[in-house]
Amino acid sequence: MGRVIFSEGGNPVHCIVNKFTERSATLSMTGWMGLPSEFMLYIEPDSIRTECRVILRKGSNIEVEFLDVEHGVRYKQSA
């Protein structure tokens, strides 16, 4: 499970993280068309936060590369 966070804030968009490697992943995001080319991704339950860049879009699957990975970070919704 993952959460996509946009720089503008707002509610996170949930996704399924597939094909997870040290430097990339494929995200499954059914019904989401407005994903920017760069965004923040929280990967639960691994407690990873990473900046991502989209490298391939194919239907509901989006392949991303990790730009800056932090371990031990959990998502916290702002009040």
In Å, how far are 2, 6, 17 from 21, measured between CA atoms? 14, 22, 10
Q: Can you give the pLDDT at residue 35? A: 83
Measure the CA–CA gap between 31 and 2, rounded to whole angstroms.
Answer: 15
Mark the ranges of the chain whose per-residue pLDDT is less than 70.
8-10, 32-33, 77-79
